[in-house]
Structure 1
Amino acid sequence: MDEPPAEDLTARARIRNAALRLYAERGTEKATIREIAKVAGVSAGLVRHHFGSKEALREACDSYALEQIMDAKQQAVDDQQVGNVAFLQAVHPRLILLQRYLTRAMIDGSPAAATLFDRMVDFTEQWVALHNPEVTEDRRAYAAVLVAMAAGPTILSDQLSRVLGGDVRSPEGHLRMSRAVVDIHSHTLLSPELAAQAHATLGDLQAQEAPTGPRAGADHS
């Protein structure tokens, strides 16, 4: 997660990082190759030389951001770095950028956004299967909803910032928001008894609404 100074990065890495920042701030449609090249300190021709097209550059950013996020989570949990202040200080500013990038990239309505969301759900489903396989009977749904919920604070960052009286996109505001996220995940909102009742009721409703008969699943249009 802790990258070397910009002057020590390759041109390809500088271009990718510049694109990440501009895409996170403005979205992929509004950030141009020329602007990315200017921020990276290279020519627009060199951007095309390394990535070929804006779509390919976006794909590279998607893969890099997702891999970096998952690597940080693995270090925090598997390597037990979540209690290491130095580790969190090192990764925190970059995590804010990567989360903003991934969230904006998932909601732009493009085919690439759908692919990115699917990849995040796949990673999350694998994570749940490895670390907490008993938490749900429907890991796919659990993973998909968890990804959507995780994106919520970034999507609603303006509203959160207003209510909390500080920009949650800043390191200080993001830390306050993150502590609330930890509280939510570490304390159950439903008692086991109430959760069991809710599951039973939802299961009954699901069974009642399931299609039946020979035409189940057929196209009724």
Structure 2
Amino acid sequence: MSSDSDLTARARIRDAAIALFTERGIAGATIRDIAQAAGVSSGLLRHHFGSKEGLRDACDEWAMGRITQLQMQFTDSHTLGPITPDVMALQQYLVRSLMDGSARGSAMFAQAVTHGERWLATTHVETSDPRAYAAVLGAMKMGMFLMSDQLSAVLGEDVRELPGYLRMIRASVEIFAQPLLTPEQTDQALKALDRFGGEL
């Protein structure tokens, strides 16, 4: 059975790994660097996680659990939770995990899509394909984080830090708060897609 100090060390290692994996990617973060950032020995890290791959799996599992918790809170309350440094770091880690080809990262995205479908069922949003709607919406939202370097450059401030992050999120809220197409344009576009689909 682990002692309280073991559990604390395990959490410190996980948090340090998430920060370094986010910053450098899986390949760029070494066991030694993670151990040093966590204030533990490489041997203790290996004792808890076995290997860097084991540590990555543990980080992905923890992140998946946390994001699921946040999604469930949003689905149940229809209220956005507070924006905290922890939430920001979690978003950045999940995007990096997907970029690095993590199987759990892909599973997290699939899980997010499923939660998105459940959320859609509780709203008045109209869609002929709830799964595609949830999947594309998730990909569009993640695109902001995938293009954080480009966004930071054109906005003149780092969107990974609070002032720039808030500016980015505020813009996304304003985008989602109002339709970009008129009802007539929407109808024309959908009919054109239907015609094109019928020709395949």
Q: Give TM class, smaller chain.
A: 0.7 to 0.9
Answer with 135-144 or 13-22: which moved more: 135-144
Which residue of structure 2 lines up, in the alignment, with residue 47 of structure 1? Answer: 45
Identical-residue share of aligned pairs (%): 49
What count of residue pairs does the alignment treat as equivalent? 196
User: What displacement does 1:60 show?
Assistant: 2.0
Task: Work out the CA distance in 1 between the residues paired with 2:134 and 2:100.
Answer: 21
Task: Work out the CA distance in 2 between the residues paired with 1:77 and 1:123.
Answer: 8
The answer to whether the aligner puts 1:204 opposite 2:195 as a matched pair is: yes
The answer to whether the aligner puts 1:119 opposite 2:111 as a matched pair is: yes
Which residue of structure 2 lines up, in the alignment, with residue 181 of structure 1? Answer: 172
User: What displacement does 1:25 show?
Assistant: 0.7
Task: Work out the CA distance in 2 between the residues paired with 1:81 and 1:142.
Answer: 20
Contact kept? 2:60, 2:105, Cα under 8 Å: no
The answer to whether the aligner puts 1:101 opposite 2:93 as a matched pair is: yes
Query: Given the superposition, is the C-alpha separation of residues 76 and 52 from structure 1 closer, same or farther in structure 2, using an over 3 Å criterion?
Result: same
Task: Work out the CA distance in 1 between the residues paired with 2:113 and 2:71.
Answer: 15
Of Structure 1 and Structure 2, which has the larger fraction of its residues in helix? 2
Residues 116-145 of structure 1, C-alpha deviations (whole Å, 9 max, x = no match): 43333333333333x337432212211221
TM-score, normalised to structure 1's length? 0.77
The answer to whether the aligner puts 1:193 opposite 2:184 as a matched pair is: yes
Which residue of structure 2 lines up, in the alignment, with residue 29 of structure 1? Answer: 27
Task: Work out the CA distance in 2 between the residues paired with 1:206 and 1:67.
Answer: 39
Partner of 1:184: helix, strand, or coil? helix
Query: Residue 20 of structure 1 is aligned with which of 18, 21, 35?
Result: 18
Which residue of structure 2 lines up, in the alignment, with residue 218 of structure 1? Answer: none
Consecutive unaligned residues of structure 2, counting only runs of 5 or more, are none
TM-score, normalised to structure 2's length? 0.85
Query: Residue 69 of structure 1 is aligned with which of 67, 72, 83?
Result: 67
User: What displacement does 1:153 show?
Assistant: 1.2
Summarize the alignment of residues 74-153 of structure 1 with structure 2, pairs less than 5 Å apart.
Answer: 74-75=72-73, 78-79=76-77, 82=80, 88=82, 91-129=83-121, 131-132=122-123, 134-153=125-144
Query: Given the superposition, is the C-alpha separation of residues 207 and 175 from structure 1 closer, same or farther in structure 2, using an over 3 Å criterion?
Result: same
Query: Given the superposition, is the C-alpha separation of residues 72 and 111 from structure 1 closer, same or farther in structure 2, using an over 3 Å criterion?
Result: closer
Task: Work out the CA distance in 2 between the residues paired with 1:132 and 1:81.
Answer: 13
Task: Work out the CA distance in 2 between the residues paired with 1:59 and 1:128.
Answer: 30
The answer to whether the aligner puts 1:60 opposite 2:52 as a matched pair is: no
User: What displacement does 1:35 show?
Assistant: 1.3
Residues 66-111 of structure 1, C-alpha deviations (whole Å, 9 max, x = no match): 33234334445644654xxxx62xx421121111111111112354
Partner of 2:40: helix, strand, or coil? coil
Partner of 1:187: helix, strand, or coil? coil
Partner of 1:10: helix, strand, or coil? helix
Amino acid at match of 1:102: L
